[in-house]
Structures are given as structure tokens and as C-alpha cells.
Amino acid sequence: MQENYLAKWLNNELTEAELVEFENSEEYASYQRIVEASNALKSPDFNADEALEAIKNKRSLTDTKIIQLNPFKRFLRVAAAVAILLTGTYFYVSSLDEQISTQYAENKEIVLPDNSEIVLNADSKVTYSKKNWDTNRNITLEGEAFFKVAKGKRFTVATNAGEVAVLGTQFNVENRKGFFEVTCFEGLVSVSFNGKETKLPAGNSLVAINGEIVSEEKENTTAPSWINAESSFKSIPLKYVLDEFQRQHNIIVETKNIDTNLLYTGSFSNTDADLALQSISTPSRIKFKLEGNKVLFYAENSK
């Protein structure tokens, strides 16, 4: 018998003589039975189609895993966009100019980043940029304000009438319709008005009416009178005086038969309306009638 004859027998590789010899052996029946029985053996059920489907699902699962990452990526994208937008807005807003304004009969005190001070008179507005304040001290003014400028770089107050530039001083700028006045209380102020530069030393003021400089006068106060709740005028046309009254007391002013170009010198209280009306009407020899929120000025001889 050759080597591994049982394996050969199963594979039908035995020679005829060997086969006869094997079939005649006493073990043959047992082998025969084992082989027959084992031919009927079955392995556990295995559904290849199902298994293949499962693998495909697994593959698509790993695919969807990648897809599942996408919402997060999308979220990141959105988050990044929002972050950029927010920082952009932040920088935009922080670079936006600071704006402070007052209503009629209202004053405001503003402290700038370098401790310079601005006192804003009634119905006025200042605009400045907080950013780079130390190197760029620029203020835009509408109305009237008193400045106490801390020493430092050039400090500029721009108005639509003229520009005031200083280094460190105290001064008042009034810019009303057709009326421009700068008063220097300390240090030196340079005023450029209509392309002409004027240096105002302490105690001087510049008044321009309707685009023309009408006076450069000496002042002997240390702060504008309105800081002390008083409006004072020196040879100023009555109409600007009345405008100022309207701003300070929030009372609408009407005139009848009076020349508002008359010059007025004097002052009125910013707190007591009755007293202020007296202060205006008496020296100008005009009369007034106060009715609630309105006051009518009229000529003495018209009635």
C-alpha cells in the first residue's frame, strides 16, 4: 500500500490491485461507512447574498461616516464665517466714530481717552475716533463746546466753518448757523478760518458772522460764561442771542417788528427763563410775551 492510501482512495487514485486489497481489508466497511456518513454532513447555513449585502452596507456605513463628518465641517465653516463676521463687525464698530450730542437745554461733559475734557453746550454734537486717539486727536464739532486739552499731539477741532488746532490749552468753540466764535482761555489756539490762519493767545476770542471775522477781542474770564450757566454776548446781533436763548431754555422764540441785527451786549441766565427774558428785552428795549413754551418778542412802540 502506498503512502496516505486513504486519501488516495477518497480521490480514486488507488491502483486496481491496491483497491482490491483495501476492499478486502476488515477496516474497509468502517471506512466506507464513515465516508458515506460524512458525505451527508452539512455545514451551518451561510447566506452569501446576505453577507455580501452586509458588507456593502458596512461599506456604505463607512461612507456615511464620512458624510456624517460633513455637517460638522459645515458647522465649522459657518462658525468660521460667523467668527470672521463678528471680528469684522467688532473692528468696524470699534473704528466707528464716537458721537455725543446734546438736546436743547442740556449740557454734557465728555472725558476723552487722554483726559482732555469737552463740555458740550446745548444742541451740539461732537464726533471723534476713540481708536488711535493718542496720535490722532481730531474732533468734529457742530454747535458749541468748551475744550480743556491735555498736553500732547496736535488737537484739532473741525467745524464746517473753520478749523481750530492746539497743542494743549483751554478754549471754547461756538459754531452756529452763520456764527463762528473761538475763545482761547489758556495757551495758544490756531484758528484757520476761510483759509486764513489766526493765532489766538490766551484771553482772546475770534468772532465771525456770516463768514466774516467781525472782531478779535480780549476776554478776561477763565472759562466761557455758559459753563457757569450764563450766556454772555459782546456786540452780537440779536438774532444769535435769541437763538442761544431758544437753545438754552428750550422755548420757541418768535419776533415781531424788531430788528434782529441790532447788536447786543450783555448776558442772560441759562437756568432762569424769566430772568433771561428780562436780561435780553430790557437793554434792547423790546417787549416779550411768554406763553407756555413760546415767547414773542415785539417792538415797544408797535402796540
Taking the C-alpha atoms of residue 124 and residue 275, their distance in angstroms, rounded to an integer, is 24
- The least CB distance from residue 23 to another protein, in Å, is 15
Taking the C-alpha atoms of residue 277 and residue 244, their distance in angstroms, rounded to an integer, is 12
Tallying the residues shown for the chain, one arrives at: 303
Answer yes or no: are the C-beta atoms of 173 and 182 closer than 8 Å.
Answer: yes
- The least CB distance from residue 36 to another protein, in Å, is 10
Taking the C-alpha atoms of residue 270 and residue 277, their distance in angstroms, rounded to an integer, is 10
The x, y and z cell numbers of residue 135, run together, are 496720535
CB atoms within 10 A of CB 23: 13
- The least CB distance from residue 63 to another protein, in Å, is 12
- The least CB distance from residue 54 to another protein, in Å, is 6
CB atoms within 10 A of CB 261: 10
CB atoms within 10 A of CB 192: 13
Taking the C-alpha atoms of residue 9 and residue 22, their distance in angstroms, rounded to an integer, is 9
Answer yes or no: are the C-beta atoms of 182 and 166 closer than 8 Å.
Answer: no
- Kindly give, in sequence order, each residue whose CB lies less than 8 Å from that of residue 143, ignoring residues fewer than 6 positions away: 102, 120, 121, 122, 123, 124, 125, 174, 175, 176
Taking the C-alpha atoms of residue 21 and residue 17, their distance in angstroms, rounded to an integer, is 6
- The least CB distance from residue 13 to another protein, in Å, is 9
**Nearer CB in complex with another protein: 9/297:** 9
**Nearer CB in complex with another protein: 5/133:** 5
**Nearer CB in complex with another protein: 52/84:** 52
- Euclidean distance between the first and final Cα of the chain, in Å? 157
**Nearer CB in complex with another protein: 57/221:** 57
Q: Which positions touch another protein (CB under 8 A)?
A: 3-8, 10-11, 27, 30-31, 33-35, 37-44, 46, 48, 51-52, 54-55, 58-59
**Nearer CB in complex with another protein: 9/155:** 9
**Nearer CB in complex with another protein: 24/38:** 38
Alpha-carbon torsion (200, 197, 144, 93), positive or negative: negative
Answer yes or no: are the C-beta atoms of 155 and 140 closer than 8 Å.
Answer: no
- The least CB distance from residue 24 to another protein, in Å, is 16
**Nearer CB in complex with another protein: 6/275:** 6
- The least CB distance from residue 39 to another protein, in Å, is 6
- The least CB distance from residue 68 to another protein, in Å, is 18
**Nearer CB in complex with another protein: 27/212:** 27
